[in-house]
């Protein structure tokens, strides 16, 4: 007998993906998740159709962050694991497909050569053998081509779904987030292996005076393993991640009291940090003409010196090479394999910061009293691709630029002089701006949702209107790690501009932060560094 819950769900009309209205009470917004029925409902539903499920209701706003985390896991796994695996599987299959005809041609030639020695009486048997060889080739080709078609269909579907999820992370409603997660949880990751070709084998006969079949040779066909030669195109399930529960997929948690992984002393000033793939980091101070590579004990392993002060540094995520910009010279440099800075291009205005993306683009924050200050995306040789005007006039600069490895967005920490003394930090307005890959403005975050913090040393409250991002960097989840000078905290903000929490408090003054690929934060502290882990599985 069907349960009452399943009967109710079977009778409910279907709500379209992303539709914020209740599918029963059309004028009401969906605000609750009925966990018994696994559907979104409005308040009226909770008092009528679903009133017996009162203990299972959860507010949609409480579930949104959890499901965003699920989508982030899906996007990470898709981009880093499943798409590369599918591409590799297609490449392997294409190589096998290309070998079918050459191998079959060799077998045909061998059959024909031996057949000519068997004179006319073997012609009929030869024709039969050739026919079987042709059938085996067709069967093998059809099976592999069908497999490739299925894999290409999966790949196209997976890319489309990943693109939808990336858009959902930026602009999607809580309802769209929930619906996207529902789709993700129905996916399957099993990738069938490339079918074995199992071509025929030909063994020439040596006793020409024996039976005709023995004289021509034996042809062995793997009939017990060929299976269907046509395949089925009905296997077009969406694939990407194993079907798991929400709790399994969102197993990581924010740890807003992070673990200190390491701590070491470092006496020089630091304004920008670039961790390397092997656990070291390049350090730069904009008042210095050197960049230093240190390990997690603070030991200097390498020093690169230039003829003028180095304003900001960045690592190419693909090649691992160091890039830096010099404000005085208005030049962007790349450090070659011989550790020698090489001029790549010049900028029209002063370069304050830069970032190299995974596509090899160089994003530079420039500024001048005449042109204001801008974010400009260049090719590696200095050709301008896109430009965004942050402030059209006045004084200020783009303090920091970061690139999101999850969806490719660009975030900048920027400030503009409002009035009064240029040297007073109180006379600047600061914010974080998020752009897409063509520098279209997506998010402008000014710390609006940061809670008031009592700073006991001064016996006063620090309010969100004093938001003062010193440095900003993306982590592997697509969240922003921001050093906020007004609260002396490292804040965690979602990529869509929502406050998550403060994960570290430091002493006053300038703060530089950066994030390793495993989400370990490098943060300057009193005459040194702390390496912090703020995610926990």
Greatest mean pLDDT range, 23-37, 121-135, 240-254, 508-522: 23-37
pTM: 0.56
Q: Quote the pLDDT of residue 253.
A: 47
Secondary structure (3-state) at 146: helix
- Of the pLDDT bands very low, low, confident and very high (cuts 50, 70, 90), residue 325 is very high
Q: What is the mean pLDDT of residues 317-328?
A: 92
Given a contact cutoff of 8 angstroms between Cβ atoms, the answer to whether 37 and 49 are in contact is: no
Higher pLDDT, 429 or 31: 31
Contacts of 315 (CB under 8 A, 6+ apart): 274, 276, 282, 321, 322, 323, 356
CA distance 500 to 479: 9
Q: What is the mean pLDDT of residues 25-32?
A: 88
Contacts of 217 (CB under 8 A, 6+ apart): 111, 114, 129, 202, 203, 204, 205
CA distance 25 to 43: 10
Q: Quote the pLDDT of residue 173.
A: 85
CA distance 343 to 20: 53
Given a contact cutoff of 8 angstroms between Cβ atoms, the answer to whether 323 and 356 are in contact is: yes
Range scoring the smallest mean pLDDT among 200-209, 323-332, 422-431, 482-491: 200-209
Percent pLDDT > 70 in the chain is 78
Say if residue 273 is exposed, middle or buried (CB neighbours under 10 Å; 0-12, 13-18, 19+).
Answer: buried
Higher pLDDT, 243 or 279: 279
Q: What is the mean pLDDT of residues 406-433?
A: 78
Q: What is the mean pLDDT of residues 168-191?
A: 81
Closest to 439 in 3D by CA, of 388, 397, 390 = 388
- Asked if CATH classification 2.120.10.30 holds for the domain at 253-536, the reply, yes or no, is yes
Q: Quote the pLDDT of residue 139.
A: 81
Q: Quote the pLDDT of residue 95.
A: 84
CB atoms within 10 A of CB 441: 13
Q: Quote the pLDDT of residue 347.
A: 95
Q: Is the pLDDT of residue 383 over 90?
A: yes
Greatest mean pLDDT range, 120-124, 159-163, 243-247, 369-373: 159-163
DSSP codes of every residue in 97-115: HHHHHHHHHHHHHHHHHHH
Task: Give the tens place of pLDDT for each residue, 451-471.
Answer: 765 544 444 455 556 788 889
- Of the pLDDT bands very low, low, confident and very high (cuts 50, 70, 90), residue 311 is very high
Closest to 61 in 3D by CA, of 533, 498, 502 = 498
CB atoms within 10 A of CB 193: 9
Closest to 37 in 3D by CA, of 3, 63, 68, 77 = 3
CA distance 428 to 415: 6
């Amino acid at each position: 007998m069907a349960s009452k819950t399943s009967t109710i769900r079977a009778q409910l009309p279907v709500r379209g993906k992303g539709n914020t209205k209740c599918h029963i009470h059309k004028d009401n917004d969906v605000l609750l998740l009925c966990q018994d029925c696994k559907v979104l409902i409005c308040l009226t539903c909770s008092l009528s159709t679903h009133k017996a499920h009162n203990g299972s209701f959860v507010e949609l706003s409480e579930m949104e962050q959890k499901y965003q985390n699920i989508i982030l896991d899906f996007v990470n796994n898709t981009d880093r694991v499943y798409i590369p695996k599918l591409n590799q599987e297609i490449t392997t299959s294409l190589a096998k497909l290309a070998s079918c005809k050459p191998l079959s041609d060799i077998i045909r030639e061998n059959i024909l050569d031996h057949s000519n020695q068997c004179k006319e009486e073997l012609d009929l048997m030869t024709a039969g053998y050739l026919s079987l060889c042709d059938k085996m080739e067709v069967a093998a080709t059809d099976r592999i081509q069908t497999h490739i078609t299925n894999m290409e269909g999966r790949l196209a579907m997976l890319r489309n779904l990943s693109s939808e999820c990336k858009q959902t992370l930026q602009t999607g409603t809580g309802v769209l987030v929930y619906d996207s997660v529902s789709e993700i949880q129905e996916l399957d990751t099993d990738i069938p292996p490339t079918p074995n070709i199992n071509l025929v084998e030909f063994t020439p006969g040596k006793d020409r005076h024996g039976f005709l079949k023995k004289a021509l040779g034996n042809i062995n066909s793997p009939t017990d393993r060929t299976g269907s030669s046509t395949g089925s195109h009905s296997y077009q399930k969406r694939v990407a991640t194993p079907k798991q529960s929400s709790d399994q997929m969102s197993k990581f948690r924010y740890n807003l009291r992070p673990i200190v992984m390491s701590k070491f002393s470092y006496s020089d000033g630091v304004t920008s940090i670039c961790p390397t793939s092997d656990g070291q980091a390049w350090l730069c101070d904009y008042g210095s003409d050197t960049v230093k590579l240190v390990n997690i004990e603070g030991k200097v392993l390498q020093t690169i010196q230039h003829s003028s002060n180095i304003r900001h540094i960045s690592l190419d995520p693909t090649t691992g090479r160091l890039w830096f910009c010099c404000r005085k010279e208005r030049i962007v440099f790349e450090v070659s394999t011989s550790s020698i800075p090489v001029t790549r291009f010049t900028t029209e205005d002063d370069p304050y910061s830069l970032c190299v993306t995974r596509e090899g683009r160089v994003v530079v924050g420039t500024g001048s009293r005449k042109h204001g200050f801008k974010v400009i995306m260049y090719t590696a040789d200095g050709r301008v691709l896109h430009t965004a005007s942050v402030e059209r006039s006045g004084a200020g600069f783009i303090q920091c630029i970061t690139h999101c490895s999850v969806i490719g967005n660009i975030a900048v920490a920027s400030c503009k002089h409002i009035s009064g003394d240029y040297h007073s930090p109180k006379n600047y307005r600061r914010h974080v701006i998020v752009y897409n890959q063509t520098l279209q403005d997506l998010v402008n975050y000014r710390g609006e949702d940061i809670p008031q913090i009592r700073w006991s040393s001064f016996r006063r409250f620090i309010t969100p209107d004093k938001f003062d991002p010193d440095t900003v960097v993306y982590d592997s989840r697509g969240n922003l790690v921001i050093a906020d000078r007004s609260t002396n905290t490292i804040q965690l903000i979602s990529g869509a501009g929502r406050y998550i929490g403060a994960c570290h408090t430091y002493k006053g003054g300038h703060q530089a932060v950066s994030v390793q690929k495993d989400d370990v934060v490098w943060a300057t502290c009193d005459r040194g560094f702390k390496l912090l882990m703020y995610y926990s599985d």
